[in-house]
Structure 1
Amino acid sequence: MKLKEGLIVRKVGEDYVIVAPEQGMVDLSKVYSLNETAAWLWEALDGKDFQLNDMVELVRSQYDVNELTDIQLISDMEELVLFFRQNDLLES
């Protein structure tokens, strides 16, 4: 899978948002909020082909993940991929 090209992550206050600029203007009906980890992950994956396992490994390398939280991490990454798919944020 690959993140959709042309989308931009911006920090607005304490929040991170993905915006879809269209025809030189920002369409505010297409703004998606991310937490800090998801925004970091977006930046790390931008422009690359990746799989769920790549996402998990990136987060493991950045954060202290033990056996008890590993199952939650995989679940969280599956949920993030679902969010990306449902909001048309992945290349088709």
Structure 2
Amino acid sequence: MKIREDLVLRHIGDDHIIVDPGQDMVDMSKVFTLNDSAAWLWEKLAGREFTSSTMVDLLVERHDLPYNQAEEDIRKLVEVLEKNGLLDKLANAG
């Protein structure tokens, strides 16, 4: 899978917001915010293909979590990213 290359992660105060710079007008009903860990993962993975396992490994390395907890967290994150069209559909096999 791959994060859509047209999206940009912006840091505004303490918030991490995903912006679609291609929109003529910002649709405030489609603003996505990420927590610190998800934003860190986004930055680590932007511009490259990756798998859920890659995401789990990065999360475990950064937070020293039990592997099964990291797997569940990543499963939920990927589900949200896919549901909201934030992943590149052409590379979405992983």
TM-score (norm 2): 0.85
TM-score (norm 1): 0.86
Q: Cα–Cα, structure 1 residues 2 and 61, in superposed 2: closer, same or farther, change >3 Å?
A: same
The Cα offsets for residues 39-63 of structure 1, whole Å up to 9 and x where unpaired, read as 0000000011111000011112222
Correspondences of 1:1-92 after superposition (within 5 Å): 1-22=1-22, 25=24, 27-29=26-28, 30-65=30-65, 69-92=66-89
Deviation of 1:10 after TM superposition, in Å, equals 1.0
User: % of aligned pairs identical?
Assistant: 40
Q: Which has the higher contact order (CA 8 A, sep 6+)?
A: 2
**Divergent runs of 4+, >4 A:** none
CA RMSD, Structure 1 to Structure 2 (Å): 1.4
Greater mean alpha carbon deviation, residues 2-11 or residues 36-45: 2-11
Give, in whole Å, the separation in 2 of the partners of 1:89 and 1:78: 15
Structure 1 or 2: larger strand share?
1
- The number of aligned residues is 88
5+ residue gaps, structure 1: none
5+ residue gaps, structure 2: 90-94
Give, in whole Å, the separation in 2 of the partners of 1:75 and 1:34: 17
Give, in whole Å, the separation in 2 of the partners of 1:49 and 1:88: 16
Deviation of 1:28 after TM superposition, in Å, equals 3.6
